[in-house]
């Protein structure tokens, strides 16, 4: 009888151990899958941000290049208003994309770029045709100031977006 009880107890212990090992393995596998999914999500999100930041930087750089030529050479007026407006519209589209994908500081820097691009368009109308209904007082000097404002906003966006990429989103718990 003692051998029978020992056999039952041994089988019971073996069963409990097998069930425990199976649960532990299942938990570990589920945790590993969760970590992998989170890493994939971060990688995708980072790529979306990178693409939207890059698009905004390209659109902004094109606007700066187009307007900087006029700033350096006052004789180039009249400026091609339709081109400036189109480039500013590209900045607007890209800035909205950054606003949807980026963290708050980057989104705010993109909003500053958007506002500065609107000022460039308004001041370009004034510089080209002071009698235009879209004209504001100030002329060429204010157009030059608007380009400088936009360039400063672009530099700020570069700094903020670079800092956002340096932050991996994890808390600094382990730093002393």
DSSP string, 64-107: HHHHHHHHH-GGGPSP-HHHHHHHHHHHHHHHHHHHHHS-HHHH
- In CATH terms, 43-166 corresponds, of 3.40.109, 1.20.120, 3.20.20, 2.60.40, to 1.20.120
State the pLDDT at residue 71: 58
User: Considering only CA atoms, which of 115, 51, 59, 52 is closest in space to residue 84?
Assistant: 59
State the pLDDT at residue 139: 66
Backbone region of residue 169 per phi and psi (left: phi > 0; alpha: psi in -120 to 50; beta: other values): left
State the pLDDT at residue 132: 64
Q: Locate the domains of the chain by residue range.
A: 43-166
State the pLDDT at residue 176: 40
User: Considering only CA atoms, which of 103, 105, 107, 134 is closest in space to residue 118?
Assistant: 134
pLDDT in tens, the chain (176 residues): 587 787 788 888 888 888 888 888 888 888 888 888 888 777 777 888 889 999 999 999 999 888 877 655 554 455 778 888 999 999 999 999 998 888 899 999 999 999 999 998 888 877 776 666 555 555 677 888 888 899 999 999 999 988 887 765 554 444 44
């Amino acid at each position: 009888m003692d051998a029978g009880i020992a056999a039952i107890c041994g089988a019971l212990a073996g069963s409990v151990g097998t069930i425990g090992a199976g649960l532990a393995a299942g938990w570990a596998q589920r945790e590993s899958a969760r970590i992998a999914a989170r890493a994939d999500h971060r990688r995708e999100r980072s790529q979306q941000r990178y693409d939207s930041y890059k698009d905004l930087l390209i659109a902004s750089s094109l606007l700066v290049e187009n307007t900087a030529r006029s700033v350096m050479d006052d004789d180039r007026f009249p400026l091609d208003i339709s081109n400036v407006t189109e480039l500013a519209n590209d900045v607007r589209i890209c800035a909205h994309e950054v606003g949807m994908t980026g963290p708050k500081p980057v989104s705010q820097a993109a909003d500053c770029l958007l506002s500065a691009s609107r000022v460039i368009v308004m001041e370009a109308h004034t510089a080209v045709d002071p009698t235009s209904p879209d004209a504001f007082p100030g002329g060429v000097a204010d157009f030059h100031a608007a380009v400088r404002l936009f360039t400063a906003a672009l530099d700020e966006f570069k700094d903020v977006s670079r800092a956002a990429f340096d932050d991996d989103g994890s808390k600094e718990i382990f730093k002393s």
